[in-house]
């Protein structure tokens, strides 16, 4: 009889006690995402309160995503040169100052600038967290670690708006930005107490490698799997915009729309860790390809829903698919990231995901303007299915992406 090998325990592989690792890896993310979750719904309202039109308020809210895309590559340079812990501390401290400044801001243009830079600090935060987990967590637990990171962020985005609503009710709209600033400052304090990733060996010059050289050396990976990641993030983000619009188009009240969205978020929060287990044990393919195909199918079905119950049912299925694939983009990036120039490479990797996130609402807007809201759902469904086909061709059925994934050879990767 052949005995199965026991699964390795995370605590057996870490060079630090498990409780300290959990606080180091997820404490800053939980604190910061509570603040982010509190202010995201308030950005448009604060812009309107400062005199913006509806279109201008929507644009200012979109500056968060624009700032993230603009900050991705500089974030890679910063993390490579000062280390993940320092980069994360600086990002949280600067973000605390930005969000606190909103409370004292009465000019719309200044508010827009603060929102843009808030998005850029988010780039540094996301990159530093991904790099830290890539280096510290053993491969056997990588997907579970990344899915938990995504799950912790989802918890923050779920609880943050509730805390923000309480602050606004008791104080003022601008006061919620003080709450968010306090959360970012607390995240910076926790980050100061966490260990940094191991220092590179003496003579290692990877921290000074130009980011464009690293990206050019690994352009095959970025221009193949990266496009699949862009499609995945596009349809994921589009769901957050399309479902409320579809509810409004069918006369569903704002309160019931929130309930429909809550059903989807609850499914995501409940399934993020099981999704990580599936990814680690069955392989990246099983958390990526079925997810993208399911999201695409749900978007194609959505135009046939007419009531709050049917919309909630399809939205719940979208939440299931998103929950199972929680952290998959970070996991895939960690798999293919090189030992030399990792922060620079992950910065380029995050550009694809962030561009996809920013493009989702734009696809809805463009197709709806040219055809109809229903047509935009079908378009998103097609993007999801095509993205699933792309990833099905590139990803192995079992395990993580192999080290032999085609990459160009050159001076940057010669040290590997």
What's the pLDDT tens digit per position in 315-369? 999 989 988 888 899 889 888 888 788 888 888 899 999 898 888 888 888 888 8
Domain boundary among 196, 218, 252: 196
Q: What is the mean pLDDT of residues 227-253?
A: 86
Residue 416 lies in a domain: no
Domain boundary among 140, 161, 196: 196
Higher pLDDT, 112 or 15: 112
Residues 263 and 318 in one domain: yes
Residues 140 and 214 in one domain: no
Residues 168 and 241 in one domain: no
Residue 174 lies in a domain: yes
Which pLDDT score is estimated for 192?
82
What pLDDT digit, counting tens, does each position of 24-81 carry? 778 888 999 898 888 877 787 788 889 888 668 768 877 888 898 899 888 888 888 8
- Band the pLDDT of 254: cuts 50, 70, 90: low
Q: What is the mean pLDDT of residues 272-298?
A: 90
Residues 39 and 156 in one domain: yes
- Band the pLDDT of 231: cuts 50, 70, 90: very high
Residues 236 and 351 in one domain: yes
Residues 188 and 214 in one domain: no
Q: How many domains does the chain have?
A: 2
Residues 272 and 166 in one domain: no
Domain boundary among 137, 169, 196: 196
Higher pLDDT, 28 or 17: 28
Higher pLDDT, 344 or 114: 114
Residue 4 lies in a domain: no
> For the whole model, what pTM was predicted?
0.80
SS (H, E, C) the chain: CCCCCCCCCHHHHCCCCHHHHHHHHHHHHHHHHHHHHHHCCHHHHHHHHCCCCHHHHHHHHHHHHHHHHHHHHHHHHHHHHHCHHHHHHHHHHHHHHHHHHHHCCCCHHHHHHHHHHHHHHHHHHHHHHHHHHHHHCCHHHHHHHHHHHHHHHHHHHHHHHHHHHHHHHHCCCCHHHHHHHHHHHHHHHHHHCCCCCCCCCCCCCHHHCCHHHHHHHCHHHHCCHHHHHHHHHHHHHHHHHHHHHHHHHCCCCHHHHHHHHHHHHHHHHHHHHHHHHHHHHHCHHHHHHHHHHHHHHHHHHHHHCCCHHHHHHHHHHHHHHHHHCCCHHHHHHHHHCCCCCHHHHHHHHHHHHHHHHHHHHHHHHHHHHHCCHHHHHHHHHHHHHHHHHHHHHHCCCCCCCCCCCCCCCCCCCCCC
Residue 12 lies in a domain: no
Which pLDDT score is estimated for 408?
43
Residue 337 lies in a domain: yes
Residues 111 and 25 in one domain: yes
Residues 249 and 334 in one domain: yes
Residue 243 lies in a domain: yes
Which pLDDT score is estimated for 1?
41
Which pLDDT score is estimated for 361?
81
Higher pLDDT, 386 or 327: 386
Q: Is the pLDDT of residue 3 over 50?
A: no
Which pLDDT score is estimated for 24?
77
What pLDDT digit, counting tens, does each position of 186-215 carry? 999 988 877 666 655 555 556 667 788 888
Residues 188 and 244 in one domain: no
- Band the pLDDT of 6: cuts 50, 70, 90: low
Share of the chain above pLDDT 90, in %: 25
Residues of the domain holding 142: 19-196
Q: Is the pLDDT of residue 412 over 90?
A: no
- Domain of 294, CATH number, reads 1.20.1250.20
Residue 35 lies in a domain: yes
Residues 118 and 153 in one domain: yes
Residues 154 and 240 in one domain: no
What does pLDDT average to over the chain?
Answer: 82
Share of the chain above pLDDT 70, in %: 87
Residue 393 lies in a domain: yes
Q: What is the mean pLDDT of residues 291-320?
A: 92
Which pLDDT score is estimated for 159?
84
């Amino acid at each position: 009889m052949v005995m199965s090998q026991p699964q390795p325990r995370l605590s057996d592989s870490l060079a630090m006690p498990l409780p300290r690792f959990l606080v180091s890896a997820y404490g800053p993310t939980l604190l910061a995402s509570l603040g982010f979750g509190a202010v995201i719904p308030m950005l448009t309202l604060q812009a309107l309160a400062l005199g913006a039109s509806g279109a201008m308020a929507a644009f200012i809210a979109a500056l968060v995503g624009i700032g993230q895309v603009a900050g991705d590559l500089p974030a890679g340079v910063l993390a490579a040169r000062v280390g993940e812990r320092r980069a994360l501390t600086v990002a949280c401290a600067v973000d605390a100052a930005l969000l606190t400044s909103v409370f004292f801001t009465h000019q719309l243009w200044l508010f827009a600038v603060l929102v843009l830079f808030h998005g850029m600090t988010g780039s540094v935060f996301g990159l530093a967290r991904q790099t830290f987990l890539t280096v510290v967590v053993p491969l056997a637990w990588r997907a579970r670690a990344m899915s938990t990171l995504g799950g912790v962020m989802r918890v923050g985005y779920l609880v943050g708006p509730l805390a923000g609503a309480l602050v606004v009710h008791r104080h003022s709209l601008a006061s919620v930005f003080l709450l968010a600033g306090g959360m970012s400052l607390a995240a910076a304090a926790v980050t100061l107490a966490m260990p940094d990733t191991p220092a590179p060996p003496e003579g290692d010059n990877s921290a000074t490698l130009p980011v464009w050289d690293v990206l050019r050396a690994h352009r095959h990976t970025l221009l193949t799997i990266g496009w699949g990641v862009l499609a995945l993030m596009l349809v994921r983000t589009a769901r957050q915009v399309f479902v409320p619009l579809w509810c409004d188009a069918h006369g569903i009240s704002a309160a019931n729309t929130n309930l429909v969205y809550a059903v989807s978020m609850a499914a995501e929060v409940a399934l993020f860790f099981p999704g990580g287990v599936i990814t680690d044990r069955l392989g990246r393919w099983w958390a990526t390809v079925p997810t993208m195909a399911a999201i695409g199918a749900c978007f194609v079905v959505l135009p046939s829903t007419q009531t709050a119950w049917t919309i909630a049912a399809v939205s719940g299925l979208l939440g299931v698919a998103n929950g199972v694939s929680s952290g998959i983009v970070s996991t895939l990036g960690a798999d293919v990231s090189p030992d030399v120039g990792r922060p620079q490479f992950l910065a380029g990797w995050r550009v694809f995901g962030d561009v996809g996130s920013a493009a989702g609402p734009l696809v809805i807007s463009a197709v709806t303007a040219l055809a109809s809201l229903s047509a935009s759902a079908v378009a998103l469904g097609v993007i999801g299915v095509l993205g699933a086909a792309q990833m099905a061709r590139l990803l192995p059925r079992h395990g993580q992406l192999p080290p032999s994934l085609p990459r160009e050879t050159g001076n940057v990767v010669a040290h590997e």
